[in-house]
């Protein structure tokens, strides 16, 4: 049984990483095990309409990369260098033959996958800013699979830390890289999250 402290530690480690050790691959079997975790997530109406496209080949990863936007707050950065790119991607799609609205399934499943990955020392970046038409084209997705998110995965090649904001509603929550090139993620403190 996982303790509360173990779960908290795993959640604290489960940050968005954007630079990876490109020399380390991820086995397809590992990616399949991560997708399998989604079977145990709650699903609105129990419809289970989400599907995943595994992307590991060099050709597909290279074709997918230009369709992605990497870090909105890091305006001078165009994404990871070639030797820091993800080892794999999971493209989360909704099967529109089942529904046009997955309710909250997408976030629940992405959290399950990234927590599972973090437990293996693999980390990722959940990407919503991408060209969906290009993603569908380069992966030859049937028209009824609509890409919702792209999850970049790999072994980290950067340090990511969490810091507290000053606790005010207008606090600066933009992530940044400090003088040591550490990726810093400001988070609102608990006192700001609770009402009353």
Domain containing residue 86: CATH number = 3.40.109.10
On whether both 106 and 178 belong to a single domain, the answer is: no
On whether both 11 and 89 belong to a single domain, the answer is: yes
141-195 pLDDT per residue, tens:
999 999 999 999 999 999 999 999 998 999 999 999 999 999 999 999 999 999 9
On whether both 167 and 189 belong to a single domain, the answer is: yes
Q: Are 105 and 138 in contact (CB under 8 A)?
A: no
Instruction: Give the mean pLDDT of the chain.
Output: 97
pLDDT band at 2 (very low <50, low <70, confident <90, very high): confident
On whether both 19 and 99 belong to a single domain, the answer is: yes
**Token duo for residue 171:** 């606090």
Give the span between the Cα atoms of 164 and 65, in whole angstroms.
32
Tokens 């992605």 correspond to: 68
Beta bridge partner(s), residue 98: none
Give the span between the Cα atoms of 177 and 160, in whole angstroms.
9
Beta bridge partner(s), residue 124: 16, 153
Question: Above 90 in pLDDT, residue 99?
Answer: yes
Q: What is the pTM of this model?
A: 0.97
Supply the DSSP symbol for 58.
H
Give the span between the Cα atoms of 21 and 52, in whole angstroms.
23
Q: Are 123 and 19 in contact (CB under 8 A)?
A: no
On whether both 93 and 166 belong to a single domain, the answer is: no
Q: Are 70 and 19 in contact (CB under 8 A)?
A: no
On whether both 193 and 139 belong to a single domain, the answer is: no
23-43 pLDDT per residue, tens:
999 999 999 999 999 999 999
On whether both 139 and 46 belong to a single domain, the answer is: yes
Laid out side by side, the sheet with 50-55 consists of: 50-55, 88-95, 145-154, 123-127
On whether both 11 and 108 belong to a single domain, the answer is: yes
Domain total in the chain: 2
Mean pLDDT of 67-89: 96
On whether both 140 and 166 belong to a single domain, the answer is: no
On whether both 97 and 168 belong to a single domain, the answer is: no
CATH no. for residue 177? Answer: 2.20.180.10
Give the span between the Cα atoms of 33 and 72, in whole angstroms.
31
pLDDT band at 77 (very low <50, low <70, confident <90, very high): very high
Q: Residue 8: give the domain boundaries.
A: 4-155
Beta bridge partner(s), residue 182: none
Question: Above 90 in pLDDT, residue 95?
Answer: yes
On whether both 67 and 102 belong to a single domain, the answer is: yes
On whether both 168 and 128 belong to a single domain, the answer is: no
**Token duo for residue 152:** 């970049």
Give the span between the Cα atoms of 179 and 11, in whole angstroms.
26
pLDDT at 50: 98
Tokens 């606790």 correspond to: 167
């Amino acid at each position: 049984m996982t303790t509360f402290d173990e779960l908290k530690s795993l959640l604290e480690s489960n940050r968005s990483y954007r630079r990876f050790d490109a020399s380390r691959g991820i086995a397809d079997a590992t990616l399949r095990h991560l997708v399998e975790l989604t079977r145990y997530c709650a699903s609105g109406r129990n419809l289970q309409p989400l599907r995943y496209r595994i992307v590991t080949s060099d050709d597909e990863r290279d074709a997918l990369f230009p369709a992605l936007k990497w870090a909105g707050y890091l305006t001078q950065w165009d994404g990871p260098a070639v030797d820091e790119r993800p080892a794999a991607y999971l493209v989360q799609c909704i099967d529109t033959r089942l529904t046009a609205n997955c309710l909250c399934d997408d976030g629940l499943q992405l959290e399950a996958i990234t927590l599972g990955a973090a437990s293996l020392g693999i980390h990722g970046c959940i990407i919503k800013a991408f060209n969906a038409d290009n993603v569908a084209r380069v992966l030859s997705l049937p028209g009824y699979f609509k890409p919702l998110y792209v999850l970049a995965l790999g072994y980290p090649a950067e340090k990511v830390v969490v810091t507290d904001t000053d606790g005010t509603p207008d606090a600066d929550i933009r992530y940044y890289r400090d003088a040591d090139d550490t990726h810093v993620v400001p988070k609102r403190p608990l006192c700001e999250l609770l009402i009353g």
